[in-house]
Amino acid sequence: MFNFLIYLLCLMAGMLIVYLFLNAKYREAVHRVRGKLSRINPQALQMDASKNAMQTLAQIEEAVDAISIPKIAKPENAVDDKVQIEFEKMTERFNNLQIVNELGQRVTSSLSLKETFDHLYKTINSVMDAAIFEMGIYSWKENTWKVLANWDMPRIDQDHPYYNHIAEWSLMNNREVLLFDAEKDFARYVDKTLILPNKQIPQSIISFPVTHAEVEVGVLSVMSFGKNAYNDYQLEMIRSILPYTAVAIGNALVHEELVSTQAQLIQNEKMASLGELTSGIAHEIQNPLNFVNNFAEVSNEMIDEMFAELENGNADEAKSIAEDVKQNLEKISFHGKRADGIVKGMLQHSRSSNGQKEMTDINQLADEYTRLSYHGLRAKDKSFNATIHSDLDQTLGKMNVVPQDIGRVLLNLLTNAFYSVAEKNKLLQGNLLADGSSYAPTVWVSTKKLGAKVEIKIRDNGNGIPKKIIDKIYQPFFTTKPTGQGTGLGLSLSYDIITKGHGGELKVDSIEGEFAEFIIII
């Protein structure tokens, strides 16, 4: 009996040792499989996991044989099922991380709200049911919504508020809204369920506030017409996307503000240059109007003479007078059109450019803006005079350009040229130059055909541009003029118009104290 008890205890101890050994080996096998699942190649992961599991089971069999007890059935199915489940979970997490990382790179590199929305919708819709997807951006300053959606959503303005009161609640309270049975659970957040303007009722609604720089700037809303449409993995994925979305929205809003500010600065620069030309414009309009008035008065007198000749029966003389009146009327029409052209040109100059190119007479444009800029400066300084040398190539013909933009460039360069010679004239105060000659302010304007291109040169014998700043003259807001006399945008805008708008070149050559010459090639 005593020997039997000893044998029974030994047998139980042996079984306990086998159990503990099996349990340790099983845990070791699972641990090895999980460790290898974190690597990149999914196929290799699965093969390695199965191989290690089989090796471990073989070791277990050998241990069982060594203590001479009945073999335990190989738990092949249980191990494989758990390995497969772990593998699928890890693969899903790995894929989601890749998706979030790729999406983050795309949206944060974009400065467009529309592009950001498209990237978000494409990604989210690929991993969950996004029957309705909306990205709302809220302006606290203006109390307005801007919403991008994947469906034909009704307009939003002061008279038509944002219909999605659940998304609005999420933003205003800076809290997530998770409704998996909307008709049942909506009361936790709002006083009525969400009904779309097309009368459909989504059953699953999730909304996430988007925070940028500690301020709620928007909200992401995803809806499905099925209940319990979203699982924990999908919710975590959206939460992972939110920081990237916040950065993308912040960047896009800043970019929109910069574009708006830039447009306003450009418009201010145009109106400032137009204001400087007011006197020049008045001078240019006055000339054709004087001709119109003079020819109208003469024609009126000639009509009286014609009636007198007709009463005296001198038909031939009356016809001769009528011919003269006709010529006067043609001159009146010519100068009237001239005045009309000046007004239209200035209106075109003041308007925002639509970037539309049209066939334009470059010589006419150069001549017109030369006179306008010259008389504009003379209106401010009656004592100023300058010699203008024009050498315009009559073989140019018309060029396909944006006329108001090229006119703006010519106006800027010519205004700078006349300003430079006027400043040098003031500086000399009638004194002679270093070579003993007297100073004569002079500006040269020339055009030349270069094959399919045209070259425009504007040169002055003013103060020139110092060598140390010549590389900075095209930088925005850089100016050598006294405060209040220049914005520093003229040359910067001119450079962009020529190089970016027309694919041309804007070059400069200068010797300080002698001359400055700008060369346009388009």
Of 213, 230, 247, which residue sits at a domain end? 230
Backbone region of residue 504 per phi and psi (left: phi > 0; alpha: psi in -120 to 50; beta: other values):
beta
Specify the pairing of strand 442-450 against strand 453-460: antiparallel
Beta strand spans in 180-262 (E): 204-212, 215-224
Q: pLDDT confidence of 50, banded at 50, 70, 90?
A: very low
Residue 226 pLDDT > 60: yes
pLDDT in tens, 262-310: 777 666 666 666 565 665 666 667 777 877 888 888 888 888 888 888 8
Tell me: do 72 and 1 sit in the same domain. Answer: yes
CA-CA-CA-CA dihedral for 9, 10, 12, 15, to nearest 10: 170
Please check whether residue 456 is in contact with residue 235, taking contact to mean a CB–CB distance below 8 angstroms. no
Q: Read off the tokens for 255.
A: 């970019």
The Cβ of residue 25 has, within 10 Å, a number of other Cβ atoms equal to 15
163, 202, 209: which is closest to 179 by C-alpha? 202
Same domain, 405 and 515: yes
Nearest by Cα to 96 from 208, 247, 238: 238
In a shared domain, residues 389 and 511: yes
What is the rounded CA–CA span in Å between residue 365 and residue 375?
16
* Domain membership flag for residue 244: no
Residue 513 is part of a domain; what is its CATH number? 3.30.565.10
* 316 located within any domain: no
CB 313 within 8 A of CB 267: no
pLDDT of residue 63: 44
Decide which of 67 and 476 is more confident.
Answer: 476
H-state helical runs in 429-467: none
Residue with tokens 């500006």: 443
The answer to whether residues 369 and 342 touch, using CB atoms and an 8 Å cutoff, is no
For residue 293, is it within any domain? no
CA of 241: how far to CAs of 101, 136, 228, 459, in Å?
Answer: 9, 15, 21, 58
Name residue 187's amino acid.
Answer: A
Q: Are 63 and 141 within one domain? A: no
Structure tokens at 59: 């070791």
CA 488 from centroid of its chain's CA atoms: 23
The dihedral sign for the CA sequence 363, 365, 368, 369: negative
Q: Which two tokens stand for residue 96?
A: 């989601």
Domain CATH code at residue 140: 3.30.450.40
Residue 518 pLDDT:
94
For residue 479, give the DSSP letter: -
Please answer whether residues 212 and 201 qualify as being in contact, where contact means their C-beta atoms are separated by less than 8 angstroms.
no
Are residue 91 and residue 202 in the same domain, yes or no? no
Clarify whether residues 442 and 511 are in a common domain.
yes
- Answer with the one of 179, 206, 230 that is the final residue of a domain: 230
Q: Domain check: are 1 and 130 in the same one?
A: no
Same domain, 506 and 398: yes
Assigned token pair, 488: 């520093």
The answer to whether residue 145 sits within a structural domain is yes
Domain assignment present for 502: yes
**Structural domain contains residue 310:** no
pLDDT at 176 > cutoff 90: yes
- Beta-strand pair 515-521/453-460: antiparallel
The helix or strand, by DSSP H or E, that contains position 302, with its residue range, turns out to be helix 278-311
What's the domain range around 428? Answer: 385-522
Confidence band, pLDDT 50/70/90 cuts, at residue 253: confident
Q: Are residues 77 and 209 in the same domain?
A: no
Question: Is residue 199 located within the same domain as residue 82?
Answer: no
Q: What is the pLDDT of residues 323-335, one digit of tens each?
A: 888 888 888 888 7
Q: What is the DSSP string of 385-429?
A: --EEEEE--TT--EEEE-HHHHHHHHHHHHHHHHHHHHHHHHHHT
Whole-angstrom Cα Rg for the chain: 42
How far apart, in Å, are the Cα atoms of 300 and each of 160, 321, 336? 64, 11, 17
Listed residues 188, 212, 230: the one ending a domain: 230
Asked which of 121-125, 278-282, 493-497 is least confident by mean pLDDT, the reply is 278-282
pLDDT digits (tens, 9 = 90+) for 335-390: 787 777 767 666 655 555 566 888 989 998 898 888 888 887 787 777 888 999 99
Q: How far apart are CA 469 and CA 480, in angstroms?
A: 9
Contact 269, 353 (CB under 8 A): no
Q: Scanning the structure block, which residue is given the tokens 């949206």?
A: 107
Phi/psi of residue 431, nearest 5 degrees: -70, 160
**Structural domain tally of the chain?**
3
What pLDDT shows up at residue 278?
Answer: 62
Asked if residue 200 and residue 94 are part of one domain, the reply reads: no
SS3 356: coil
| 402 located within any domain | yes
Query: Beta strand 358-361 with 505-511: parallel, antiparallel or unpaired?
Result: unpaired
Structure tokens at 122: 């494409």
Distance CA(18)–CA(23), nearest Å, equals: 8
What pLDDT, on the 0 to 100 scale, is given for residue 8? 45
Report the C-alpha gap between 290 and 292 in whole angstroms: 5
In a domain? residue 138: yes
- Specify whether 5 is located in the same domain as 93: yes
Across the range 28-56, mean pLDDT stands at 43
Verdict on whether the full-model pTM lies above 0.95: no
